[in-house]
A and B are shown apart, each in its own frame.
Chain A
Amino acid sequence: MFESLTKRLEAAFKNIRGQGKLTEKNMKDSLQEIRRALLEADVNYKVVKQFIADIQEQALGREVLDSIQPGQQIVKIVHDELVKTMGGANEPLKLAETPPTLIMMVGLQGQGKTTSAGKVALHLKKKGHRPLLVGADVYRPAAIKQLEIVAQQAGVESFSLGEHADPVDTCVMARGEAQMRQCDVIIMDTAGRLHVDEQMMGEVRRIQAQVAPHEILFVANAMTGQDAVNSAKQFHDALPLTGVVLTQLDGDARGGAAISLISVTGCPIKFVGTGEKLDALEPFHPKRMADQILGMGDIVSLVEKAQEVVDREQALKFQEKARKATWDLEDFLQQMQQLKKMGSIGDLVQKIPGMKKMMGKGMMDVDEDEMKYVEAIIYSMTPEERQKPKIINGSRRRRIADGSGTTVQEVNRLLKDFEQMRKMMKNMMKGGKKGRRGMPMMPGF
């Protein structure tokens, strides 16, 4: 949809080369392009205006470096400034010196508050805390039930006075409840509300006044457009917000709302949501976010994520096997399990501009159902069969199909696919001996 900003700037910058210094005049076109890129990424209009003015001031008078592409030079300035605006990476939650720590989730409807409450609870549980999730949304049908299920999924305690009680009372009572259950963190899930709804804003202010949370997290979704400034501003005016949770970053929104939110609230983004499941919560990385807003792709996180799960040594072993075509179904199974661990890597890859087109739609998707049945089939084979698929004759196929609850056709298809993949990999390894060194190999990629 958007070509890379760098590329677009190249054109705008052609006539600056060799001009010595960056001036208001020779920067005009490129600033125009940057402005456009930011607006397309949903950064608020007024925020962009201010930002461009700042950039201009900074860049003015700088030498035009002949050694690097001028486009990259200004992108670098913009990128650095975006990173600076978005503040430090990895702002942790402030935990109270004397427990319990009180955390309140607030925001508009449908942004991901309840899900994020569960994610934060799981995150803290993993760090050795005992969180209590508190259901204080009495308006959305089944919201309390949703929170209870989320708490169960996270394996943490939950509490609510129910949907007929005053949410303020629920939050107040939660303290005693936490003490009784020996919980050291209280996470309150409040109802979604519009910033212009005075009655509802009054309610959340009352909760705040009564329980004085240590953290008040404004939850907003990354697809939010220009209006992010209006809602965030009024929430900020009503409540002492301490941080932002930016959800649904697993989509393909550029996420310019991040800049708007930080600009109006002055609060750091403490977490980002990258999926519906409760472990899909990550610390915020301003650098990656800046890349994404400028359409430069989230390459860093892709690489990091891949490194995290792929055992390097094993990858090399696989590579060797692939080259010699001794790669067998056992290896295939192991690789598939690694791939599963990588989970959302397909989503990450899609964020890289151009990548999606190159790979073709669906290529990067790991279909968990499909994998389950492939796994079942391979599990039903003997070790010998896994190593030498050639010996799998008709009667073995029938046995495997029965054992895995699949059909002979499905077993046939898997064996055929596997054989094709093996050939393909062998060829690939021959061709790319030098170039692809060190890149962990992934099946199907």
Chain B
Amino acid sequence: MAEEKRGFFGRLRERLSKTRSTVIDSVKRVFTAHGNVDDSFFDELEGVLIEADFGVDTTLDIIENMRLKARGSGVENAEDLLAVLKEDLVALLSPGDHALSWDGAGGPHVTLIAGVNGSGKTTTAGKLASHLKSRGKTVMLGAADTFRAAAVEQLTIWSERAGVPIVKHQDGADPAAVAYDAADAAQARGIDCLLLDTAGRLHTKVNIMEELKKIQRVVGKRIPGAPHEVLLVLDATTGQNGLQQARIFTEALHVTGLVLTKLDGTAKGGIVVSIQKELGVPIKLIGVGEGVDDLQPFHAREFVEALFS
């Protein structure tokens, strides 16, 4: 996020100049090859949206809407219609608070980081710690993933990279106890921001979803109002299951925002459109690499541009 100015778009282009273009070409073609909109234009648009993981329902909704608009407003040119579509999507993705809230109202501000296995939780916690520290905050990490092999070591390395303290127990310890201790330590040391990394869990496993609720409860007991932020980390390569994940996690936790990781690949992460539409969960951050600076704020417009770039 240090390079906010260049934006996600510019940074992406720089990072991945080469091979990516083959994928992008086909998207561009759709909108330039068609002078005027016709059925084959809509067919191709359907392909673009589905291949961006929008899902069938959302795609059909959008197409239907575009057809109506084309007819109603007399927009005939494909590029003009694309502009209309982009505006619609930006409007769709804009509601909600996309900024992170950083004031812990006196005590430490607690962020809980959750998501399925391998989505990028630990990496996001590390990047976020570094970012907050560079903004002058005092930060602490809590290693509440006590399950995955070397998860604690991984977060410890991130804490060293960011230069922030970490609270950890031994492997296999009760994650809620770690969370409580971390909240305790953050309170005692007057820390501004506490970031809690949790174990990956598939949303279908009811018991470990309960464990997550317990963590949420326990920190709330130690620090009233905590966790102030609950971030659900979603891998951009995820398909339609992403919506189901978001449903279950938002049911279990007070999810305040999404982090969409791995946008530096070729996946577009279109499932977030359905998530925002159905659940109203705003995207707050995007992950664009494995480096400490590869975390950026979400901008609806840039995201939509990238979908069709």
Contact = CB atoms under 8 A, between A and B. Distances in A.
B197 interface: no
A387 B204 CA distance: 37
A157 B267 CA distance: 37
B154 A230 contact: no
A108 to B, nearest CB: 7
Interface string B27-49: 00000000000000000000100
A251 B240 contact: no
Interface size class of B (residues with CB under 8 A): 35 or more
A365 interface: yes
A231 interface: yes
B150 to A, nearest CB: 4
Contacts of B52: 226
B118 A112 contact: yes
B25 to A, nearest CB: 13
B238 interface: yes
Contact of A195 (B19, B47, B56, B204): B19
B241 A223 contact: yes
A188 B219 CA distance: 40
Interface string B55-93: 110000000000000000000000000000000000000
Given A39-B56, A139-B290, A146-B149, A253 B239 contact: yes
Given A140-B154, A251-B116, A227 B206 contact: no
B149 A149 contact: yes
B173 interface: no
Contacts of A350: 204
B147 interface: yes
A12 interface: no
B265 A231 contact: yes
A40 B59 CA distance: 11
B170 interface: no
B154 A226 contact: no
Contacts of B266: 195-196, 227, 230-231
Contacts of B202: 248, 250-252
A276 interface: yes
A114 B118 CA distance: 11
B244 A1 contact: yes
Nearest to B50: A45
B237 interface: yes
Interface string B238-275: 11111011000000000000000010111110010000
Contacts of A194: 16, 262, 264-265
Contacts of B153: 141-142, 145-146
A440 interface: no
The 4 A-B pairs at the shortest CB distance, nearest first, are namely A225-B239, A110-B118, A42-B239, A146-B150
A228 B238 CA distance: 9
Contact of B154 (A39, A142, A225, A253): A142
Contacts of B53: 42, 225-227
A248 B16 contact: no
B238 A224 contact: yes
B6 interface: no
A143 B116 CA distance: 19
Nearest to A227: B267
6 contacts: A110-B119, A146-B150, A227-B265, A252-B204, A254-B240, A361-B206
B154 A141 contact: yes
Given A40-B56, A198-B18, A223-B245, 5 more contacts: A42-B239, A110-B119, A111-B118, A225-B239, A248-B202
Contacts of A1: 244
A347 B55 CA distance: 25
B181 interface: no
A368 B206 CA distance: 12
Contacts of A221: 118
A267 interface: no
Interface in B137-160: 147-151, 153-154, 156-158
B120 interface: yes
B20 interface: yes
Contacts of B241: 42, 223, 251-254
A97 interface: no
A76 interface: no
Given A226-B239, A231-B266, A347-B204, A150 B16 contact: no
B149 A153 contact: yes
B237 A224 contact: yes
Nearest to A256: B239
Contacts of A108: 237, 262, 265
